[in-house]
Amino acid sequence: MFDSLSPIQRSIVFDKSGAFVVRACPGSGKTYTVAAKLVHRISNWDLPNRGIAVLSFTNVAWNEVRKKIEENLGVMVSSPHFLGTIDSFINKYVFLPFGHLVMGCNKRPILVGEPHGTWSGGNYQHDYAQYFDCASYNISDGTIPTTADKTRFHFSWKNNKDGSENGHVKRIREVKEKYWKLGCATQADANYFSLKILEKYPNIARSIALRFPELIIDEAQDTSEIQMAIIDLLLNNGLEHIMLVGDPDQAIFEWNDARPNLFTDKFNNWRENSIILNENRRSSQMICNTTSRLTTFDNPPLAVTEIIKDYDHTPEIICYDQGNIQATINYFLQLCQKHQIEVNQENVAVLFRSKSIHNLIISQPDRAVEPWVVGKYFVKDLAKGKYMEFKGYSLEAFRLIEKAVFKAINYRNYCSENDLANWVSTRGLINHRKEILNIIRLLPEPTGEIKSWVLQANTVLRANHISLQLAINEISSESSFDELFGSSTIKHDLAYRIGTVHTVKGETFDAVLLILKEKGGQGRLYRTMLSQGLKTFDDEELRIAYVGMTRPKRLLVIAVHNEQSKFVWESRLLN
């Protein structure tokens, strides 16, 4: 594992200790470096009751570290060490055992909302209980939205002119505090309360720092203010060694309160001991030269993979016709064939920022309003579960539908694993499985419009004396199952991969077509940002584009909205 490390990587793995930052460009092998560092440290570890915690921000990221360790070390990372997400670490060692101390509840708290399960709060259209999983508190105790989809709220989320919270936000605050006292918390709440716990009870921070004297945090550019404050408290209470690894140019989760400037601040504060990993093992030098013009690096990354680095294709910028997006894709696929790149879902990707581009590719209309009704959110889980079962995801479908049935029958906003276990125990495992499988069998095939499916489902469930009454919003009743669940649940049967930039972060392809609309997700024109000389550090929309551009090894094609945009992109990237 160590033989393939570059001199810079070897310095990180064998020499670096204390508090330091690794700023790593795309394709630099940072995950491999993290895995090598952990393998080296575990191999020389002599503290049986203390361990190393290696954390990242997604299950995909930490599982990639685990995979590389298992392949090269041949063992599982186990106690006394910890490998997982930063949220799971906070939950296990801070929030779940100690949350009751600051929440005002008298029991161990329960995590609700995604990714722990769907929240079904609310009994009527504008019931603020439905927003419990869409909001939390920031580091200054202000109420903030925690969803990227602001259309979920029936009001505009903004403060009064004097800076105070408006009446809608105050009502959400009341809802949050009500459910906190009942022991319910979202993941954002868990992080908020964990900070409060460590501030109020420094002995807990000291015990964690003693238990884990060494932290390695991958994708650290995605750290929120609260998470970084938790890290600082551990440092202030005895944490001996910490390695932060990331790239602020790839921070694309500001909607989830990620603050890349925090990572940059740590790099500057620990500059004498920090390091820049600016060797690109993924892309050609031409791609490195092109994409680096958006970043704050003084020089382009150095392409170092022999069979890739000198690949002779200058990234292209073309225009696409919104009325014929397939023509653009066909051009790209022909280019792949010309360069003898086999077109499959591992090699070739068509990426985009906007879901509306996805709908154009698969000839699907945009939906303005989803059909789910407040107080009947379990219907979404039933429908999605049946759709997954129809597509062959039987186990996932069973788990989703049994929780939906629990919420519907018991009039509950959520279904925790403990709730589910107790419910199954009272029903008997065999009877429970038979009843859930019977409901799955009785639900109609998920084809056609959701309105027709709901009517059929109510008829057949009523005929079989099953007390589930389904209802949807009539405004969106013509939505099909593929529209509602196809993009998020099931892989498409296309020869190439399609997806948003967010879904492929960290992945590598031989060729990428990145399709960009005229404006980013926040409504700003790309050409205005480019003309003003903004870089990735200045605007998240440019960072999202940059992440998409840095996925390919050999071919990069950027498709933009019109000739005016094409001229500006070319002026910035290619001239």
- DSSP per position, 150-195: GGGSSS-----TTSPPPHHHHHHHHHHHHHHHTTEE-HHHHHHHHH
Mean pLDDT, residues 175-180:
96
pLDDT class of 487 with cuts at 50, 70, 90: low
Alpha carbon separation from 379 to 150, 405, 563 (Å, rounded): 22, 9, 46
pLDDT of residue 159: 85
Question: Does 297 have pLDDT greater than 90?
Answer: no
pLDDT of residue 57: 84
pLDDT class of 538 with cuts at 50, 70, 90: very high
* DSSP category for residue 272: G
Mean pLDDT, residues 505-517:
95
Radius of gyration of the chain (CA): 25
pLDDT of residue 491: 54
pLDDT class of 366 with cuts at 50, 70, 90: low
State percent of the chain over pLDDT 90: 72
Mean pLDDT, residues 284-301:
94
CA 30 to chain centre: 19
* 135 neighbors 176 (Cβ within 8 angstroms): yes
Question: Does 472 have pLDDT greater than 70?
Answer: yes
pLDDT of residue 365: 58
Q: What is the 3-state secondary structure (H, E, C) of 285-306?
A: HHHHHHHHHHCCCCCCCEECCH
Question: Does 397 have pLDDT greater than 90?
Answer: yes
Q: How far apart are CA 549 and CA 311, in angstroms?
A: 16
pLDDT class of 93 with cuts at 50, 70, 90: very high
Question: Does 363 have pLDDT greater than 70?
Answer: no
CA 126 to chain centre: 28
Q: How far apart are CA 352 and CA 136, in angstroms?
A: 29
Question: Does 227 have pLDDT greater than 80?
Answer: yes
Mean pLDDT, residues 39-51:
92
Strand 275-277, strand 316-319: pairing: unpaired
pLDDT of residue 368: 52
Q: How far apart are CA 519 and CA 561, in angstroms?
A: 9
> CB neighbours of 301 closer than 8 A, spacing ≥ 6?
25, 26, 27, 28, 278, 279, 280, 288, 292
The pTM assigned to this predicted structure is: 0.87
* Residue at token pair 């999605």: 384
* 505 neighbors 250 (Cβ within 8 angstroms): yes
Q: How far apart are CA 304 and CA 279, in angstroms?
A: 6
pLDDT of residue 489: 46
Strand 19-24, strand 110-111: pairing: unpaired
* DSSP category for residue 56: E
Give 144-164 pLDDT, tens digit per residue. 999 877 888 999 888 888 888
First to last CA, the chain: 40
Closest CA to 77 of 46, 44, 51, 48: 51
Say which residue, 481 or 272, is predicted with more confidence.
272
Mean pLDDT, residues 482-501:
76
pLDDT class of 364 with cuts at 50, 70, 90: low
* 521 neighbors 541 (Cβ within 8 angstroms): yes
Closest CA to 116 of 437, 485, 403, 425: 403
Question: Does 59 have pLDDT greater than 90?
Answer: no
pLDDT of residue 157: 86
Q: How far apart are CA 410 and CA 415, in angstroms?
A: 10
